[in-house]
Structure 1
Amino acid sequence: MFRFPVAIPVALCTVLLALTPAAATAADAPREPYGINLEGLSYPYPVGLLPLVNDGEQLRMAYMDVAPAQPNGRTVLLLHGRNFPSSYWAPVIKTLTGAGFRVVVPDQIGFGKSSKPSGELHFDTLARNTMALLDHLGIAKADVVAHSMGGMLAVRIARAAPDRVAHLVLTAPIGLEDYRFYVPPIPSDKIIESEDRLTADGYRKQLETNYALKLPPEQVTPFIDARFNLKDSADYPRWLRAFVSSYQMIYREPVVHEIPLLTQPTLFIMGADDHNAPGRPNAPDALKAKMGQNAELARTLAGRMRDGRTEVIANAGHLVFLEAPDRYDALLLDFLGK
């Protein structure tokens, strides 16, 4: 069980609760491993499952559909990043439902509580799956709020189905540069070997370094558990291959060239200290320092768009909506109120 320090804000406590295992155990006792669909990890709201077929494979897409107490008639679609279950959106879900929005929060195929496919992941397929979910829920149009890798998916959705996206909020998105210009292609088997060697302590250091995290260690621990409590699952090799496929999708399917073509009102919310750049360790030394200038990249791209703007939050990293929740929520609600 995780113990909350008294000083942790309510919003941070909310996300900790969202990531706490369903069964309580003694602090020093071993826990049963999670399943590769995060069986054993509680989400903050009920989870539904939508049957899908991708490349002939029967799959199920997990999602939360959260209704507000006083509806305003609008829906927000939240899209998660690569290293996080969708439950980490818990504080933002509370903010949005409190403002009257219905909130739909899927785990993309390959992530969280959704099926792990045997084939490769592609942004176009994830976009079609997400549109199928909105169709299933009877939602014709939504505001899209996305984080990290979810920002790349949001761009693909907004380009493929522009009439279905009202506003676009890209929260510390990756994909603001074409990583192929910096990083040579890496075989999947080599990445699988590297990821399989990673320890929980190594992963914590990776998150803290790559994401410039401003969160207390207790806030990071549930993310470590969400990754490493499934390592002893019998189906762990299947999860690992899907996880590595998501890296290859990010590398092979850039969206930066599409961003200036977006027609929807778009807000980038960036952490000033977020210099996350997938693949940087594999880039030539001369190029590493040029990667991940994300706030400046967002400003440049917004200036090339029909209706884009960038807000940069000081003293925040990649998880800006958890690190600076008050400022983030104010920017989010103001923009969606347009």
Structure 2
Amino acid sequence: MKLKNIKYLFILLLSVSLNAQDLSKLKPLDAELTTVTYPFPVTVKMLKNQGQELKMVYMDDQPEKPNGKTVVLLHGKNFNGYYFEETAKALLKEGFRVIMPDQIGFGKSSKPKQYQFSFQQLAENTKSILDDLKIEKFILLGHSMGGMLATKMAVMYPESIDKLILENPIGLEDYRDLSPYQNIDKQYAAELKNTYQSYKDYQLKFYYDGKWKPEYEKWLNLVAGWTISNDFPITAWDAALTSDMIYTQPVVDDFEKITVPTLLIIGTRDRTAIGKANAPKDLQPLMGLYENLGKATQKKIKNSKLVELENVGHLPHIEVFERFIRPLLEFVKN
């Protein structure tokens, strides 16, 4: 056997062995992550909307030396508030109160079978938490899908938002112009095909440039654990509903309506785009070009600043935390 083939075989066997080790640590997770302990105090708010009672869970932590300001962190579609742990600790150290909701359909919050998901509804739900806490002004950060929600909140509640941060938000382009609609049944069927490996392959490609680190496993397992649970049909259904929301409710026309000071933090290697796999082959390479989308969006938002992180993917606050947190703290402290 040639040396080149032996080397390839060794790498393949090593990869299989490592994946087997990772999979051995994977535990089934129920729909509301009841066996997962979050890093900050958790509160449950009961919501009454759309004819049903729902639980919306959020973390709320106070700094030792408060500066009187609050930062609200909005998670992306494949995540929950937990993955902001390191970001929250850095903000707490600087005196900020930090609130991290799990949106309905995500994390520890309810997973309704029937729910009209809209960014306006999620915005109202989030604002109701802040109203309960009597927080009149706050700084808002949204990552990925959370960036679309943060954009909508900035338009709906400009008097309440002191500053806005958009970290690699999706929705910087109208996916309807690039990819054909997939109905919820098709979305659901696609979600049910997800596995630990499919999630990992996706994250390797779009988040981490093919370079996996052990610390990424925690965030992967919080969604992959659902795929081996009896509750997977429940979580997959809500994932399909929220994919439909993202596709059918673009926010590209909202950027020009934002009036609050805004910081865009963009990892330029990111190629995330909803529906890319269903788009015509000639259009797929044109979707999710964040090195272009960041600049174009910054021009639309008045009083905005763009920080581009070269050779960084969809998850700057996980992949390159130090490069992410410096411009964030500079923006929120001034």
TM-score for both structures, normalised by structure 1 = 0.88
Local SS of the residue matching 2:47: strand
Q: Counterpart of 1:54?
A: 49
Distance 1:200 1:163, change over 3 A: same
Which of 107, 115, 120 is the equivalent residue of 1:112?
107
Q: Counterpart of 1:137?
A: 133
Kept in 2, the 8 Å contact 1:191–1:244? The answer is yes
Cα distance in 2 for partners of 1:232, 1:275 equals: 28
Q: Counterpart of 2:311?
A: 315
Amino acid at match of 2:159: D
Kept in 1, the 8 Å contact 2:268–2:310? The answer is yes
Q: Counterpart of 1:235?
A: 231
Q: Counterpart of 2:8?
A: none
Gaps of 5+ in 2: 1-20
Aligned residues between the structures: 313
Cα distance in 2 for partners of 1:213, 1:70 equals: 38
Structural mapping, 1:98-177, within 5 Å: 98-118=93-113, 119-177=115-173
What displacement does 1:308 show? 1.0
Percent same amino acid at aligned positions?
Answer: 37
Cα distance in 2 for partners of 1:139, 1:214 equals: 41
Matched, 1:267 2:263: yes
Kept in 2, the 8 Å contact 1:63–1:107? The answer is yes
Distance 1:145 1:214, change over 3 A: farther
Matched, 1:258 2:254: yes
Matched, 1:91 2:70: no
Amino acid at match of 2:250: P
Distance 1:193 1:27, change over 3 A: closer
Matched, 1:206 2:202: yes
Q: Counterpart of 2:332?
A: 336
Q: Could you report, residue by residue, the CA deviation over 1:83-142 in whole angstroms, capped at 9, with x for unpaired residues?
A: 012100000001100000000000001100000122231111000000001011110110
Kept in 2, the 8 Å contact 1:215–1:323? The answer is no
- Aligned alpha-carbon RMSD (Å): 1.8
Amino acid at match of 1:117: P
Matched, 1:42 2:67: no
Cα distance in 2 for partners of 1:323, 1:124 equals: 30
Amino acid at match of 2:221: D
* Greater displacement, 321-330 / 155-164: 321-330
* Greater displacement, 71-80 / 30-39: 30-39
What displacement does 1:215 show? 5.7
Distance 1:155 1:28, change over 3 A: closer
Cα distance in 1 for partners of 2:330, 2:48 equals: 38
Cα distance in 2 for partners of 1:245, 1:133 equals: 23
What displacement does 1:191 show? 1.8
TM-score for both structures, normalised by structure 2 = 0.89
Q: Which has the larger radius of gyration?
A: 2
Q: Counterpart of 2:62?
A: 67
Cα distance in 1 for partners of 2:306, 2:24 equals: 46
Which of 313, 319, 325 is the equivalent residue of 2:321?
325
Gaps of 5+ in 1: 1-25
Distance 1:215 1:336, change over 3 A: farther
Local SS of the residue matching 2:295: helix
Cα distance in 2 for partners of 1:243, 1:132 equals: 23
Cα distance in 1 for partners of 2:210, 2:317 equals: 11
* Greater displacement, 312-321 / 249-258: 312-321
Amino acid at match of 1:204: K
As a proportion of its length, which structure holds more helix?
A: 2
Q: Counterpart of 1:10?
A: none
Cα distance in 2 for partners of 1:48, 1:178 equals: 35
Kept in 1, the 8 Å contact 2:136–2:160? The answer is yes
Q: Could you report, residue by residue, the CA deviation over 1:153-212 in whole angstroms, capped at 9, with x for unpaired residues?
A: 001101011101110000011110000001111021112112212221122101111334
